[in-house]
Structures are given as structure tokens and as C-alpha cells.
Amino acid sequence: MAKTTFETESGAKVFGLLAEFTNPHTLTEGAKKIRDAGFKKWDTHAPFPVHEMEESMGIVGKSIAPMMFVIGCAALFGVGGGYLLQWVININYEIVVQGKPTASAWEPFVPVTFELGILCTAFGALLSMLAFNGLPRHHHPLFSSDDFLRATDDGFFISVEAADDKFDPDETRKLLADAGATNIELIED
């Protein structure tokens, strides 16, 4: 079944609906109603962390295993690469220390190995966070709403995307109004 695309009267594609709520409590209650209605592509926006929001949105216990795998691989790459780099250099440019054979002791290799492991772990965490969050995204359709600019100051919002299978402009608007939204705006893509 093909996904229905919605358009405004002017022919612009619809991104979704943006609903404003008066305070964090009404926002969490609205999020529970959206979650219970079965929507999958929606988000909440608030100027500060709302502590019950994860439970209200139903995202508690989501797996971060793919991101941890990427970070672990980056750490192993850094540790292995750091040790291998020093080992190859020590074979090609042999420095005899205290009469010991070349590469007989691993202890001198620990600081560089550790530091490269930490460096690659940090880059792995940063890059995987950017990839899993879909960043960088320089423009988002919600930025076209003048009301949404208050999301970083004193506004509490829920945005429901038109790409969601359960999205219907009229039914979703009614659901958001029943959830306690004070202002509902159609956002064009």
C-alpha cells in the first residue's frame, strides 16, 4: 500500500502538525495520548528536560547497542592501531633498551596505545551520535513556524509528521486538540 502524501491548497507538501501546550504537565499528558493512539513519527519539544517525557513517549528501554558497537569498534581500532604502530616502528628503528631484545616488552607501548584508544573512542562516539540522530541537518520544516521559535524559551510543543502511517490532518488535529493543545498549526515541507 502506497503512503498517502498530503498537500495544502497551494500545492505544498505537508510536513505535519505542530501543537502548542501550556506547560510541561499538559505536554506529558498530550504525549501519552499521541503514544496511545499509535503514532510512530512524532516528537516533543521543550526549553528544558521534562523528566517524565521518556515514559510518556514510550521510548524507555530503547536499545543503544548499535551505537555502543560502533564505539567499541573504534576503541579496538585505536588500541590495535596504536600498538601496531609502535611495534612496526620499533622493528624498523630498533632501539635496544637495557639490553633487551627488540619488542620484548609491551610496557613502554601502554601510554600511546591507551591514548589512541581514548581518541578513537571519542571520535567514534561523536560520529555515531551524529549519524544516529540524523545530523547535521541545517534546516527543518518546523523552523518556518514563528511559534516554534519559542521552543527554546517558554514553549512546549508536539510535532506529528505526515510521514506517519496513522496521520490524517483532520483526525490528528482533533486528537491534538483533545490532548490539550492550545494552538495547532499545519507545517509545510
Instruction: Identify the domain boundary among 132, 147, 165.
Output: 132
Buried b / exposed e along 74-83 (16+ C-beta atoms within 10 A): bbebbbeebb
**Angle formed at CA 45 by CA 36 and CA 147, multiple of 5 degrees:** 115
Same domain, 70 and 128: yes
**Per-residue pLDDT for the chain (189 aa), expressed as one digit of tens each?**
446 678 877 888 999 999 999 999 999 999 999 999 999 999 999 999 998 898 899 887 666 788 889 899 999 999 999 999 988 888 777 777 667 666 667 888 899 999 999 999 999 999 988 988 888 888 889 999 999 988 889 999 999 999 999 999 999 999 999 999 999 999 998
Total number of domains in the chain:
2
In terms of residue numbers, what domain contains 149? 14-55+139-188
Quick one: 118 and 150 in the same domain?
no
List the grid coordinates of 118: 581514548
Dist. CA 23–CA 170, nearest whole Å: 24
- Residue 44: CATH number of its domain: 3.30.70
The pTM assigned to this predicted structure is 0.72
**Do residues 115 and 91 share a domain?**
yes
Cα separation of 149 and 46, whole Å?
11
Residue pointed to by grid coordinates 578513537: 120
Neighbouring-strand partners of residue 13: 7
Partners of residue 123 on adjacent β-strands: none
